[in-house]
Amino acid sequence: MIRSPLFRLGILAVVMAVSVMALFHLGRAGTLLFQAGVWCSGQLSWVLWTAGIVLPGWLFWTGHRDPMPRRFWIGLGCLASGLALFFTALSVQDARMVWQPLQVLFQTGGAILQGTASSAGGLLGSLLYGLSAGLFSRTGAFVASALLVFLSAIPLLYDPPEKLKGSLEKRRSQRAAFRAAMAEDATLADPGRTVPWQMGCGPGREVWMAAVPVAVGCWACCLWMMSSPVVAAGQRRSRKLPERSGRSLYRSWKLAECWM
């Protein structure tokens, strides 16, 4: 029953509805839910309830065709932990009281749920600060928060080699389909025309596609250099050189057009 698609859709709908109620403070229940998020995650409560709307909506839109990998959730957890620890470390006044944020959180829990008090990092940040500051001091807590944020980028931005290989193969197939469409259009426009990359198939096809434009370009450059004023300075007057250069460039362009 838990693996049923209908059951999953129901759970996602409930999560999205609760997140909307909490994010927009709809009624007393919505305000209480939002403040409970403040007690748990502090200033990240806005991010928590926004993610509760965006992620189910994205799953609804994709229809569960592209499930999020576990590394994505691990990266989000590391990022949230690092930010909560950072906010808690900033709010601490006495660096010697490593468990002070947790004590204050439990003392003001009722006020936080009523909306008359707030918390910097919530329960998550207070626990992480007590552990990191107790071992490495307050400065070590800042270093630990930066390390968690840095580590979160690895699972969030890392692409497996299989996925990268699949994307490269997809791009190659798209380029091949584009070349085939261009060749078909050229053949339909001029049935007697021979496209250079249609002269062969297999591994030599890419060689033809790369060699023909290079050869035509080199030939055009040679013709232009032969007709330049430096070579023909002693043959003709300078007033006739532009005309000759124009004819050479025109012949080169026609030669390139015949090859295309």
The predicted model gives 244-258 an average pLDDT of 51
How far is the C-alpha of 9 from the C-alpha of 247, rounded, in Å? Answer: 72
The predicted model gives 146-155 an average pLDDT of 91
Task: Write the DSSP symbol of residue 27.
Answer: H
- Give tens-digit pLDDT for 205-223: 444 455 556 566 666 666 6
Please say if the pLDDT value at position 147 is more than 70.
yes
Please say if the pLDDT value at position 197 is more than 70.
no
Name the band, by pLDDT with cuts 50, 70 and 90, for residue 183: low
The predicted model gives 119-125 an average pLDDT of 92
Please say if the pLDDT value at position 192 is more than 80.
no
- Are the CB atoms for 78 and 151 separated by under 8 Å? yes
Question: Which element (helix H / strand E) includes 116?
Answer: none
- Give tens-digit pLDDT for 15-41: 999 999 999 989 999 999 999 999 999
- Are the CB atoms for 120 and 45 separated by under 8 Å? no
- Give tens-digit pLDDT for 29-87: 999 999 999 999 999 999 999 999 998 888 888 766 566 778 888 889 999 999 999 99
Please say if the pLDDT value at position 239 is more than 60.
no
pLDDT for res 31: 92
